[in-house]
Structure 1
Amino acid sequence: MAARDYGQSSGITRALELIGERWALLIVRDLLVGPRRYGELAAGLPRIPTNILASRLKELQEAGVLRRAPRSRVIVYELTPFGRELEPVVLALGAWGFKAMGGARDEQAISPDSMTMDLRSAFRPEAAAGLPPTAYAARLDAAELLIRVDGPALDVQRGPGPADLVFEGGRAIHRLITGEIAPQRAITDGLVRVRSGDGLLLDRFATTFRLAA
């Protein structure tokens, strides 16, 4: 039974009954990146109370959105095929939310999984199709994302790897995606620090990942 019953019969109503509780859609967002252990989900959502996380996981499992699965002697949570159908919805919400997001405050976290989904929302396959294959390594605090673009194909993974451009950006990546700041200005102002590779490739990154603010 849904935790919330709106007393109406419609597709949107039913969807909200299944995933409309607070934190539910953010759990789905992180699981769209890949299966996660309970502790990994908690770390990616640092403000979620443990009892709420447990409740949401149980509700989403009962709704058929996710399931528990054994992986290398540990239990992970992963989306079911029904749950994965939410991906275009989550990406569209991310693109829409960018328009009202504004700058990140110091107390607001940017997790590797949230950045991965932001990059998926901002990816422009039509622009990338005309550009050479490029790999970017973006460092976000203690985490690193390896972003591979090959024509209209995008792959984002955690961890290091060979890259044409290695840069540290943190919150400035959002400003690049929205076009709030030009790539070379971001480097000049120290908002983005190039660690290796040609800094001009940051222009290619900004062309490939772009959302209107």
Structure 2
Amino acid sequence: MSHGEHVTVSALVRVHACPVRYYYERNDPLAESDRYAVCKQLSYHLGNPLDPEAIWGEIFAVRPTVDPALREFLAFCIASCTKSEWKPARECDVKVVSVKHGIVGMIDRITQDGAFSIVRAAGAMPFGTYAADRLRVAALALCLEEMTGRIVEGGCVEYIPDGVSRYHAVQPRDRRQVIAALHRIRSIHDGEMPRRLLNAPCNRCKYKERCESSGGHRLSELL
């Protein structure tokens, strides 16, 4: 990564979860899951009648290798989403950029009133939003603020399998975490071996032993 290259929001989330794992996987391509493909395609139709046949046809066109068994998952998601009222999107898949912070990301849906949302294939928490989703909303809000010139107070997270939309009001700590994640990514790409976080998700991690033995060094010291 050159210093002029923008950091993706997905990279910010990965390094925030575990900088060591991000270090080992930083050059691996990210693959979209079939479940996300189902939720994403359904999201284009929110606020309008949800036709299972039409949506499945679009999913198959976008992803011809999709597991046919996920048609049941689509039916489950549609049943969940029909229990709530949704605003249709004015725009979908909107690329947003912050030149100041060097961030680039994608907003899944923007409604007529200018509110933005991101689509998730996970079930919702009983209350609130996941830490990773709060980081996503904060990073996208920074980009949108720079592009529009106005304060963006928050955004929605749409947990499609549960048919739930949760608004997250961006807090100062969310913005601090975005900045911290940016610093971590840039130090890693400058050759710094990151240290394991105290609350890192280490259970069953395939890098656990390598992580424990590294201790945090520059890459040049390990070669």
User: TM class by shorter-chain length?
Assistant: under 0.3
Higher relative contact order (CA 8 A, sep 6+): 2
